[in-house]
């Protein structure tokens, strides 16, 4: 990250700058409050961006509270850490009210500041990743709702663009939840009939008698409740596209009637005697291979060949490598109501490994569910997205490793304070480093990326002793 450090004490400024640079950050130092304000103004006029501000409260010329206020005015999302050697409850309250991300009292350990900024850096990285995904989604979102950039979806989109301008019947095959209706709508949008209606009906959603009335319409008096003439879906789709979803569920008697309509392009309403010409493009969808239904005797072979003019096979989500993050970003934008939602990289890896038997529909439902369960949190957790995954992962870890992971709960059953949780994990990590290096502290310190002095201090802090029973400080 690019950090503005506003600090007039040279010793603190030099040592903290060294620690931050060593951690991989870029540091701009302002020796007084006015210089800090000037640097913030430069970024607002097109200068290099500042990702985080660390400022002392008492400085020459202008105060740290003014620096905090200016930073929040220019960029409300930018974290600001306030430091002071004159800590008071009132100052802390004022700083937090103005939007400070944290409040530190001098003297402090530089390592603590570096650890704190590492958290902000992770959030910053997530925001960049999400921005990248949104851009990728925008480039993939170019077929009227068909989202994806995987090789499998690229083939689908190529064929879709090729066949859309024609008038040939399309048969879309794909598992439930793969987005067959979205593809049908994209075909319509790219066709020469785009100005006409798009009419959809699910063949398995209605009993046979109602399905016939829905498709063909009826004349007044055709049956008890037929109090006026009503056009069916064939007529409503005139000049446009008719989408028959789940055509594999179409009853055999209705298959005969559909075959006749496709052959003659003429219908008769229920109770009517006058033939009505219809002009529509047919797009049908099936959730099982239709030829399988033919072999089972549940689908007419002659109708199958009428529908199977141009097949379009949609891959299941598990075969769409790389599309899960793009779809996640798309659903976050669609359902997020403008909130800045985040998903950690480890959580995204879980999503990419999941089989998704319900395909894209299941993924969308998972995102909506996680948003509902998030409450005031902006990060979506893996346990809300994928029920039971953390427990399974923990069980696998316990069975394959002897390393103990500290509990996240207190003896009373509530969550541990964050400080205590991190303290416990730090101790386990130190022990692991000593085990890896056979107790050689110099190598352990090198492995952990800290000095021997810092290692000794941490071992003393955690009361970690060597095998001989002596404190680990010699």
Fold assignment, 151-315: Rossmann fold (3.40.50)
- Asked whether the beta carbons of 317 and 363 are under 8 A apart, the reply is yes
Rounded Cα distance between 366 and 359, Å, is 11
pLDDT one-digit tens code per residue, 229-251: 788 899 999 999 999 999 999 99
pLDDT one-digit tens code per residue, 156-166: 888 898 898 88
Instruction: Compute the average pLDDT of residues 441-456.
Output: 79
Which pair of structure tokens corresponds to residue 142? 């170019």
pLDDT at residue 114 in the model: 86
Q: Cα 203 from chain centroid? A: 33
Please state, as a whole number, how many other Cβ atoms lie within 10 Å of the Cβ of residue 88.
11
pLDDT above 90 (res 444): no
Tokens 């352990």 found at: 444
Angle between helices 110-140 and 10-22 (to 10 degrees): 50
Which pair of structure tokens corresponds to residue 27? 């540091």
Which pair of structure tokens corresponds to residue 26? 């870029």
Rounded Cα distance between 414 and 4, Å, is 38
Can you name the residues that pair with 173 across neighbouring β-strands?
A: 286, 313
* Start and end residues for every CATH 1.10.8.60 domain found in the chain: 318-397
Please tell me the pTM assigned to this model: 0.55
Percent of the chain clearing pLDDT 70 (strictly above): 81
Rounded Cα distance between 436 and 447, Å, is 9
* Start and end residues for every CATH 1.10.10.60 domain found in the chain: 410-461
Q: What is the CATH number of domain 2-136?
A: 3.40.50.2300
Please state, as a whole number, how many other Cβ atoms lie within 10 Å of the Cβ of residue 130.
19
Tell me the DSSP string of 71-135. Answer: HHHH-TTS-EEEEESS--HHHHHHHHHHT-SEEEESS--HHHHHHHHHHHHHHHHHHHHHHHHHH
- pLDDT class for 457, splitting at 50, 70, 90? confident
Fold assignment, 410-461: Arc Repressor Mutant, subunit A (1.10.10)
Greatest pairwise CA separation for the chain in angstroms: 103
pLDDT one-digit tens code per residue, 293-306: 999 999 999 999 99
* Start and end residues for every CATH 3.40.50.2300 domain found in the chain: 2-136
Which of 27-36, 138-147, 430-439 has the highest mean predicted lDDT (pLDDT)? 27-36
> 318-397: which CATH architecture?
Orthogonal Bundle (1.10)
Which pair of structure tokens corresponds to residue 156? 């689908």
* Start and end residues for every CATH 3.40.50.300 domain found in the chain: 151-315
pLDDT one-digit tens code per residue, 92-123: 667 777 778 777 777 788 887 888 788 777 66
* Average confidence score pLDDT of the chain: 81
Which pair of structure tokens corresponds to residue 355? 């089989």
Higher pLDDT, 36 or 127: 36
Query: Which residues have a Cβ under 8 Å from the Cβ of 86 and sit 6 or more positions away?
Result: 57, 58
């Amino acid at each position: 990250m690019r950090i503005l450090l506003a600090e007039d004490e040279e010793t603190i400024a030099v040592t903290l700058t060294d620690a931050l640079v060593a951690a991989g950050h870029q540091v701009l130092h302002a020796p007084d409050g006015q210089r800090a304000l000037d640097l913030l103004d430069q970024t607002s006029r097109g200068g290099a961006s500042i990702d985080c501000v660390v400022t002392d409260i008492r400085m020459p010329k202008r105060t740290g509270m003014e620096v905090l206020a200016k930073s929040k005015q220019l960029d409300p999302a930018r974290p600001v850490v306030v430091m002071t050697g004159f800590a008071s409850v009132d100052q802390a309250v004022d700083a937090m009210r103005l939007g400070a991300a944290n409040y530190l009292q001098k003297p402090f350990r530089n390592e603590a500041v570096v650890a704190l900024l590492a958290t902000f850096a992770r959030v910053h990285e997530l925001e960049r990743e999400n921005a990248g995904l949104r851009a990728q989604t925008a480039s993939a979102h170019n077929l009227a709702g068909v989202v994806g950039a995987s090789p499998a979806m690229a083939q689908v989109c190529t064929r879709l663009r090729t066949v859309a301008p024609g008038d040939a019947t399309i048969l879309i095959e794909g598992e439930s939840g793969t987005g067959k209706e979205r593809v049908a709508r994209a075909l319509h949008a790219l066709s020469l009939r785009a100005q006409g209606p798009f009419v959809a009906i699910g063949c398995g959603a209605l009993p046979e008698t109602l399905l016939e009335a829905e498709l063909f319409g009826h004349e007044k008096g055709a049956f008890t409740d037929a109090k006026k003439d009503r056009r069916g879906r064939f007529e409503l789709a005139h000049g446009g596209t008719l989408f028959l979803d789940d055509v594999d569920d179409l009853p055999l008697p209705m298959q005969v009637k559909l075959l006749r309509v496709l052959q003659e392009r003429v219908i008769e309403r229920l109770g009517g005697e006058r033939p009505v010409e219809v002009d529509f493009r047919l797009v049908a969808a099936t959730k099982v291979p239709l030829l399988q239904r033919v072999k089972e005797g549940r689908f007419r072979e002659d109708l199958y060949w009428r529908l199977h003019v141009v097949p379009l096979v949609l891959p299941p989500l598990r075969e769409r490598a790389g599309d899960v993050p793009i779809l996640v970003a798309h659903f976050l934008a669609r359902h997020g109501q403008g909130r800045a939602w985040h998903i950690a990289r480890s959580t995204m890896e879980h999503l990419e490994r999941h089989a998704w038997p319900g395909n894209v529909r299941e993924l969308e439902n998972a995102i909506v569910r996680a948003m509902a369960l998030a409450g005031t949190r902006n990060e979506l957790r893996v346990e809300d997205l994928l029920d039971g995954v953390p427990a399974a992962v923990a069980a696998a870890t316990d069975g394959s490793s002897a390393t103990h992971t500290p509990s996240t709960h207190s003896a009373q059953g509530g969550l541990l304070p964050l400080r205590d949780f991190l303290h416990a994990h730090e101790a386990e990590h130190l022990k692991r480093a000593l085990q890896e290096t056979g107790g050689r502290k110099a190598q352990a310190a090198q492995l952990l990326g800290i000095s021997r002095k810092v290692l000794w201090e941490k071992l003393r802090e955690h009361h970690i002793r060597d095998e001989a029973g002596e404190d680990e400080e010699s």
